[in-house]
Every structure is written in structure tokens, then in C-alpha cells.
Amino acid sequence: MTSSRDLRRDVGELFCTGFHGRGVDKDLERFFKTTHVGSVILFKENCTGPEQVWNLTAQLRRAAGAHVLIGIDQEGGRVQRLKEPFTVLPPMRNVGVTGSAEVARRVGRVLGTELGGVGVNLDFTPVLDLDLHADSVIGDRAFSAEPRQAAALGLALADELWASGVAGCGKHFPGHGATGKDSHVGLPVADLSLDALRATHLVPFALAAKARVPMIMVAHVLFPAGDPKWPASLSPFWVDTVLRRELGYEGVVVTDELGMGAIATTIKLDDAILQLLKTSVDLFMIRDRDACAAAVETVHRALAVGWVKPERVHASAERVRTLKQALAGRQLLAERPEDLAALVGDAESLALAESLSFEALPSPAKRERGGG
């Protein structure tokens, strides 16, 4: 029988949160101690430079546990939280132009070395969306409009992240490239048939599931052909029927951030959490720490009244812990902050970034449709 203490720890493993500031203060220590939240995401506001990030992640490991998942969005192009002296990479469209898996591997090696060096062990990349929509918000974040090329390059990058002890996360299942609306603002709708989705946008995720990418992020996008009511991130159809059963994915499934407009403008957070418990989503990402603490209590109340069974919570907690255990001891963490000079922004990494810093044309699919 699961003890009350074990169950509280299991609930904590379901959440990934953000926080304000560039260090761990007493309030944040208390948050981790009381909620048992086991994953965090860093944003630009949390980071100033390599030594500061190294010290911050060390503080987080002391406060939240040695195996805490510390994630960041470090894709390249428009989405990279860490700037100079870290290597500033061009958008992944430029990697796609090369068509080279070896180039993608080199990019993954740069990301893995630099992130691992400062103590970050989870990178919310690669983007496996396709650059297909004429006005797509994804655009140059995608490697390609061609499904198998996007998958080949993204998975090569993820392999190198893993080799450096950093988990990659394929996103945004089942394909944010199918719509032009930004889910940060409101709920996008992708009005495509299931056959069309399976032939295009789902292909990279099917290959990622087969390759056992450690984490996949589900999108706050409504795909009416599969589920006319719930966005993919809250949908048993998309998460359980398609991702888990049809594609056979057994790794950690994480939501996109639950404070984004796509969710916040359509459903209360408490209700979103209860809906998530009807799926096999493992990690609920909530940037606001207070909102995260409230969501933790929502799960505890649901358990107390029998709305959700402990086994559901435990299954997700175990998948998260399995990932943490697989990462344990593998990270190329600098022993001292002074050692970071040899890991961050070295000449070879900067030369790679420079070689990829050209102005890439939009994908042929977008040019044919008149996209810019």
C-alpha cells in the first residue's frame, strides 16, 4: 500500500514549475519542501551568465533533490534563453537547409555540452513540427516541411543531447505546424483530417516514439478530426489512443505551459488539471509558482475524494523517476564554475554557429502557398 508520504512525493513528480529570481531563496526552498515538485523550467529572467546558471542549478539540486529535472527552451533562433557567452545558434530551418544529420548532431553536441556544463539536464527541443503552414507561428523553428527529414535531423540532435547527459523533448505533438495561430495567445484550431495528419504532421512523432526520445510535449492545439472538444494537451484521444497506443510511446509526456492563452482563455486551471488526470500525461508545466502550488493541492483533493486513483498518479511519477534515474551521473557538469570557460562558447562551437548563420528561404511548401 502506498503511504501518504510516498503519495505526496508522487504528486510532486507530476509538476514542472518556474520561479522569479536568479537564486533559490527561503520561499522557494519552502515551496519544494511542501509540494515535493520535482522539475523546474528556467527562463531568461532566471539567467545572466554561465557561472550564475551553474550556481543556480546547484542551489536547485540542494532545494529540490539531487535528481531534479532542470529544463530550458534552448532551441536556437528565436527561442534560446541563454545568450552570449553561450553559443547563439541560428534557427533550425538553417540546419534543415543543409540536410545533414551530422550538422544536426554537431548542434546537439554544442547544446548538450553547454547546458550540461551549467547543470541543466533537460532541453525542450527538438521541434518536430513541420514548416507547412503559410503563416505558421512555428516557421523557422522547424527543421523542414518534409516529415522524414524533420525527424532525421531532430532525432540526430536529440541523440547528441542524450550523449551529453541532457534529455531532449520532441515538440509539439501532434504538430503545431498545422496552424498559424499562436497558442501563447489563444487556442489554435487545426482543421485537418486524421489521414492528412497521419501522412504529414504525425510522422516525425511516430519516428520519435520508435526512437524512444525521452520526452514528448503535447500542444495546446485543437484537432477536431480526433477530438472536437479538447486540445491535444488535454485529450485522452491524442495522448492515450494515438501517442501511447497507436505510436507506442512509453516515455514522459509533458504539457506545453498551462498558463498560455490557449488554456487560460478557455478553461480554469483546476479543471484543466482534473482533465489531465483523465489522460496519461505525466508532467504538468505551470510557470507561475503559486498557481503550481494550487494545482498540486487540486490533485491531492482529487485523490482524497476518490476522483482519481493513486495508481494513475504513481504511473506518471514512475515514468518521470525512470527518466531521472537514466540521467543520473551522466551529465557533463563542470566541477567548478571556473571550468566553464572551456565548455561554453568555445571556438569550434562559435565557428559552427557562424557557418549556419545565413538567410534561409522559407520552405518550398510555404513559398508555393505564398508564405513569407
| Nearest Cα to Cα of residue 71 among 17, 21, 126, 120 | 120
Marked catalytic residue, from 67, 184, 300, 314: 184
pLDDT digit string, tens, across residues 129-148: 999 876 778 999 999 999 99
Q: What is the pLDDT of residue 1?
A: 52
Instruction: Based on the residue annotation, tell me whether 220 is a catalytic residue of this protein.
Output: no
Question: 114 in a domain, yes or no?
Answer: yes
Which CATH number does the domain housing residue 323 bear? 3.20.20.300
Cell numbers at 135, concatenated: 503563416
Q: Which residues of the chain have pLDDT under 70?
A: 1-2, 134, 181, 363-372
Q: Are the C-beta atoms of residues 95 and 143 closer than 8 Å to each other?
A: yes
Count structural domains, the chain: 1
Marked catalytic residue, from 131, 227, 256, 282: 256
Report CA dihedral (293, 75, 350, 328) to the nearest 10 degrees: 50
Q: What is the pLDDT of residue 2?
A: 66
Q: How many CB atoms lie within 10 A of CB 51?
A: 16
Q: What is d(CA 297, CA 288) in angstroms, rounded to the nearest whole number?
A: 15
Q: What is d(CA 364, CA 360) in angstroms, rounded to the nearest whole number?
A: 11
Q: What is d(CA 19, CA 42) in angstroms, rounded to the nearest whole number?
A: 8
DSSP code, position 243: I
Q: Where are the beta strands (DSSP E) in the chain?
A: 15-17, 39-42, 69-72, 74-76, 79-80, 122-123, 167-173, 215-218, 252-255, 284-286
Q: What is d(CA 193, CA 90) in angstroms, rounded to the nearest whole number?
A: 33
Question: 236 in a domain, yes or no?
Answer: yes
Q: Are the C-beta atoms of residues 129 and 174 closer than 8 Å to each other?
A: no
pLDDT digit string, tens, across residues 71-98: 999 999 999 999 999 999 999 999 999 9
Q: What is d(CA 345, CA 82) in angstroms, rounded to the nearest whole number?
A: 11
Q: Is 39 helix (H, G, I), strand (E, B) or coil?
A: strand
Question: 368 in a domain, yes or no?
Answer: no
Question: 369 in a domain, yes or no?
Answer: no
Question: 4 in a domain, yes or no?
Answer: no
Question: 201 in a domain, yes or no?
Answer: yes
Instruction: Based on the residue annotation, tell me whether 184 is a catalytic residue of this protein.
Output: yes
DSSP code, position 55: H
Range of the domain at 86: 20-348
Q: What is the pLDDT of residue 365?
A: 58
Longest pairwise C-alpha distance within the chain = 60
Q: Is 275 helix (H, G, I), strand (E, B) or coil?
A: helix
- Annotate 155-210 with DSSP letters as a single string: HHHHHHHHHTT-EEEEEEETTGGG--S-TTTS--B----HHHHHHTTTHHHHHHHH
Q: What is the pLDDT of residue 370?
A: 36
Report CA dihedral (329, 330, 332, 336) to the nearest 10 degrees: 0
Which pTM was predicted?
Answer: 0.95
Question: 371 in a domain, yes or no?
Answer: no
Question: 256 in a domain, yes or no?
Answer: yes
Q: What is the pLDDT of residue 203?
A: 98
- Annotate 56-87 with DSSP letters as a single string: HHHHHHHHH-TT-EEEE-EEETTEES--TTS-
